Structures are given as C-alpha cells and as structure tokens.
Amino acid sequence: MSAGPLENGALWWRSAVIYQVYIRSFADGDGDGIGDISGLRLRLPYLAALGIDAVWITPWYPSPMKDGGYDVADLRAIEPLFGTVADAEAMIAEAHDLGLRILLDIVPNHFSDQHPWFREALAAAPGSPERARFIFRDGVGPDGSEPPNDWMSNFGGLAWTRVTEADGLPGQWYLHLFTPEQPDVDWTNAEVRAEFDQTMRFWFGLGVDGFRIDVAHGLAKADGLPDVGSTMWPPVTAEVVDHPHWDRDDVHEIYRSWRSLADTYDDPRVFVAEAWVHNPGRLAQYVRADELHTAFNFDFLLAPWDAETMRESIIDSLAAHEAVGAPATWVLSNHDTVREVSRYARPQDERRLRKLDDLTDLPADFALGRRRARAAALLMLALPGGAYVYQGEELGLAEVEDLPEDVLQDPGWEQSGRTERGRDGCRVPIPWSGPAPPFGFSPEGASAPPWLPQPLAWRELTVEAQTGDQQSMLELYRRALRIRRSQPELGDGRLTWLDVPDGTLAFGRGARFACIVNFSGDPVPLPGGAHVLLASGPLTDDGRVPRDTSVWLTT
Ligand code: NOJ
C-alpha cells in the first residue's frame, strides 16, 4: 500500500509524521557495509507502506565523517560513499511519486575543517577576510597560549584549537563547539549568510521539501565572546539563562530570513529546528509565524515514563506552540539519544536519561521498556501536531549497549578520554531480513560487514520477522499510522483532557476519538459504548487498560 500522492497541500507539515533516516545505517545498496542512497531507494516502498508522510535524511554531504557527517566539507554535493547528486535527484523523484516528502539536514553552525573555506582561512593571515568567515581570536596571556575564553566543546575538552601560522609559530585560536574538525562559522559574516542561502536554493531546486536545522540554537554568539562562567546548560533553574552561545535572541533574525527564502517557492518548503533550549516557551520562539515551521520537542523526549511529568510536558508544549500559532511536534528518540526501549527499561525517576552513560548503571527490564515504548508510540501519534519516528523505533530496537570499544566511532568517545561511550548504540544498522547479520542491511555477497556490528538477537526483530505478526512493534506502528491517516481528528488540532485517576492520562481528539494511557495507575475501565481501535498491549480479562498500556478508542 503506498501513501499515495503528496497530500494535505500547503499545510502538510502541521500533521506530518516524519521518519528519520540516519543514512549510514538505514540500507546499504552497494555492499560496502555503509548505508547509502541506492539502499534508501530500494526501501522507499517500505517507508511509503509504513504510512509516514516525509523522510528526514541526516547529512549526506562530502565529509571526513569526524562526526557522522555533521562535519560537512561541501554543502552542495553528495558524499561518494552515499552516491551522487544524480542518485539523490532520482531518489527525491521516486519518493515524491510514492507520496513521501524529503527533508535534508542543514548544518549551519560549523563546517568540516576540510571545507575549502577553512583551508583558505588556515593559509591566510590573522585579520583576513578568509579568517573572518570563522571565529578566530588571539589567545590570552603574554604569548597568547591560553584560549580566548572558557568555552567547552560539546564532546568534552576546550572549544578552541590553536593554529600554526605561516611562520611556523603558534598563532590564533579558532572556535569549535563540537569537534576540532568542526570549526564554527561566523553568522555575522555576509558571505556565510549568502553561502547558506545558495545552498538552500540548490537543494530546493532539486525538489527537496525542507531542512532539519542542526544546532539551530547555536548560531549566534554573544558580542565579545564572554566567558560562560558557571552558567549551566541545559539550565537547571526555572529562570531563563543568558548563555553566551546557546539560544541567543539574535539567532531568530537568521530564521526570519530563511523563512522568507522558503516562502518564495510555490510548493512550500519547511524547516524543523534542532534546538535544545530551556523550556517549551523558549522553543516556541523558533516557530513564530515568520520563522521556522516546527521544532523538535526534546522536553517530551526527555520526560520520564510518568503520567504527571508527561502531562505537564504536553500541556506546556501545546500552550507555548498555540500562543504562536504553530503545531507542536512529538519525538521519542533520534540518532543522538538513547533509544526509548532502553530508557523506559530503567527506573523512571530521572528526568534526563539522554546519554548511555546516564543509565548503564541502572537496573533494566527490557520487556517493560518495550511495553512502555509501545504505549508511548500510541500516545505520541495521538497528540496534536506532527511526530518524528527514528529508524528502528518502529522495530522496537533497543540501544546496543555493549558495542566493543574498538568499533566505537562517536567523537565523544575519544574526546571524553574514553569515558563516555557516546551515541553509536542507537546508530547500529537496521535489520531487514534473514537469520544472521547483516540482516539484509547489505546485499548478498557484500564486501564488508555493517560498519557497526548488529546483535544476533535482532534476528527476531527484522522487518521480515515482524511483518504479519500482529503482536509486533512494526505491525503496531503500521496500524497506528494507518488509523492516523484515516481519522481526520488526528494530527493538527486540539485535545480535550478527560478525567482519569492518578497515574493515567486520557484525552479526546474531536468528538469521537480518545486515547487512554495508563502509566502506573490501577487498571482503567473503558468509557461506556467505546470501541477499541488499537491497544498497545493486552487489556485485563475484564476489559480494562492495565499499566504501561495505551488504547485508542472511538465511540
Ligand atoms: C546535532 C546532531 O544531531 C549531532 O549528531 C551532531 O553531533 C551535532 N549536532 C553537531 O553537528
């Protein structure tokens, strides 16, 4: 079953379910053990039949892969490992024919150090226009041997690296909020702005429907680059924190200009912000009417499996988005966070289980994690607005927590001095079919194994193994997405909270649809006359909704 022609016209994004393809790990067409565009093309019918509306593809640009492609060496080309621009164009056209829109990842905060601009900057003198595209500064101290300020890299260590000048002596420092191979560009520089405008036009011209904006909250830096000092990020107080490089108000002007560019197209082109900010109110600033269309709701992703925290997150998110006229979005995982099966398998008293190292010491019950992940999927897909599904989520994959150290590639592993294992555990190639690795990820006779090893236990979780098994996670997602498409009340709109006991949530969508989620309460009876459309797990013998279970109802 295909999703059919592109639907919902100009406002499709307000209700969209967008599937995240982490390209290196989705499907390998040429047998080198690395996912690519030809693999993705083969799997487009699978995505269309799943019932999603659009696909967001993580960076596929030429890259030395120091940060999984988020170190971009050429903004308007394709990494040869993944294919060619012609392959990309063909894929986009095929996706459109199947009713799927395509979003790319744009990485405006930093380039790869192999981008020609950065090589030119290194070869040029301090104060040159070539250096002005990045954030070069003199060091502190008599010989400039101390970094310009106290900023730290997101992956650990200093956010500054000192360069050697043409005379062979240590010289200026450049800023990199991520790895040293990802120099930050300077968004006060007109050439930088023009470069990104041209990049967006290039990909829009190839039919791309929008962009996910990497580190959208990081582009504006405070004048004078003052020290961070003791400012916490993410903030732990209720106060909004004035941070010198995260979520600064100046960033919004950039997005107003991007929006006006996107709006010049007849078929609307859309944006989703990756912005790790303080609270839903700050997030909603990014989706004001003249800025971006949507933003990932990380507050929801990070909320533990607990009725009260979830309710609060949902209420705050809806209120903040409604105040600016934008749809909320909902997300349970992505390529940077621990998969939800593994998070929900742990005790849920922690609000910030995000990184593997936050939870490996906690006891785990994976059957419980999977039950909760099923219930969470129905909750997410019933809430007003759009939703994001990370590849493998629909298969119920857990984080691979025991990857051997010698295969780890996440820069955080080395940069933390091998104390943080990083994000590879949620990036293991997807199991499609068969009883043994590569589980159909690579074609038969592939020349290399998958770039991260797949657990043998995944033979039970391949697309092939789950297809037709009505108890499987895959069939739950398929049914939920099919119902979502057929119920006009779902997607964009509002909800009405229904009265239920503590430990549970229930809300209506329109006059006839309701969702009940039991997190930790006593079994909840169904309202009289209700008909169960879908349940994430078995109901009690007397037809009530037990804990860690969601149901979709109609009357
Ligand atoms: C967010 C991306 O999702 C992550 O994978 C990357 O490491 C950083 N931004 C830096 O680009």
Instruction: State how far the Cα of 207 lies from the Cα of 192, in Å rounded to an integer.
Output: 23
- Cα–Cα nearest to 519, from 306, 348, 201: 306
Give the Å distance between the CA of 60 and the centre of ligand 1: 13
Give the Å distance between the CA of 22 and the centre of ligand 1: 12
Q: pLDDT: is 409 or 350 the higher one?
A: 409
The CB of 71 under 6 Å from ligand 1? The reply is no
Give the Å distance between the CA of 215 and the centre of ligand 1: 7
Read off the pLDDT of residues 249-260 as tens digits, 9 standing for 90 and up: 999 999 999 999
The CB of 215 under 6 Å from ligand 1? The reply is yes
Q: With a cut of 70, say whether residue 235 has pLDDT above it.
A: no
> Could you tell which of 61, 63, 70, 113 is best to mutate to test the pocket of ligand 1, judged by most ligand atoms within 8 Å of the CB?
70
Res 236: pLDDT: 56
Read off the pLDDT of residues 483-511 as tens digits, 9 standing for 90 and up: 999 999 999 999 999 999 999 999 999 99
The arithmetic mean of pLDDT across residues 338-352, rounded, is 88
Res 1: pLDDT: 36
Q: Indicate which atom in ligand 1 lies nearest the CA of residue 155.
A: 7
Give the Å distance between the CA of 514 and the centre of ligand 1: 36
Q: With a cut of 90, say whether residue 548 has pLDDT above it.
A: yes
Comparing 18-32, 234-248, 451-465, the range with the smallest average pLDDT is: 234-248
Minimum CA distance residue for ligand 1 atom 11 = 70
Res 351: pLDDT: 61
The CB of 424 under 6 Å from ligand 1? The reply is no
Res 354: pLDDT: 79
Read off the pLDDT of residues 76-120 as tens digits, 9 standing for 90 and up: 999 999 999 999 999 999 999 999 999 999 999 999 999 999 999
Minimum CA distance residue for ligand 1 atom 5 = 336
Percent of the chain with pLDDT over 70: 96
Q: Indicate which atom in ligand 1 lies nearest the CA of residue 67.
A: 7
Q: With a cut of 80, say whether residue 231 has pLDDT above it.
A: no
The CB of 209 under 6 Å from ligand 1? The reply is no
With bands split at pLDDT 50, 70 and 90, how would you rate the model's confidence at 2?
Answer: very low
With bands split at pLDDT 50, 70 and 90, how would you rate the model's confidence at 555?
Answer: confident
Res 234: pLDDT: 64
On whether the CB atoms of residues 332 and 298 are closer than 8 A, the answer is: no
Res 3: pLDDT: 43
Write the CB contacts of 268 (distance below 8 Å, at least 6 apart in sequence).
Answer: 10, 13, 262
Q: Indicate which atom in ligand 1 lies nearest the CA of residue 110.
A: 11
Q: For residue 374, how far is the Cα from the chain centroid?
A: 19
The arithmetic mean of pLDDT across residues 468-480, rounded, is 98
The CB of 489 under 6 Å from ligand 1? The reply is no
Res 361: pLDDT: 87
Rounded to 5°, the CA angle 32-74-391 comes to 50
Minimum CA distance residue for ligand 1 atom 2 = 214
Express the helix, strand and coil content of the chain in percent, nearest 5 each: 30, 15, 55
The arithmetic mean of pLDDT across residues 403-408, rounded, is 97
Minimum CA distance residue for ligand 1 atom 6 = 70
Read off the pLDDT of residues 357-384 as tens digits, 9 standing for 90 and up: 888 889 999 999 999 999 999 999 999 9
The CB of 336 under 6 Å from ligand 1? The reply is yes
List the structure tokens of 411: 């820069």
Q: Between helices 366-382 and 473-486, what is the axis angle to 10°?
A: 10
Rounded to 5°, the CA angle 344-330-463 comes to 65
Read off the pLDDT of residues 41-55 as tens digits, 9 standing for 90 and up: 999 999 999 999 999
Q: Indicate which atom in ligand 1 lies nearest the CA of residue 215.
A: 9
> Could you tell which of 58, 272, 336 is best to mutate to test the pocket of ligand 1, judged by most ligand atoms within 8 Å of the CB?
336
The arithmetic mean of pLDDT across residues 25-34, rounded, is 98
The arithmetic mean of pLDDT across residues 417-434, rounded, is 96
Mean pLDDT of the chain: 95
Res 7: pLDDT: 66
The CB of 214 under 6 Å from ligand 1? The reply is yes
Residue type, 54: A
Give the Å distance between the CA of 114 and the centre of ligand 1: 17
- Cα–Cα nearest to 324, from 273, 282, 296: 282
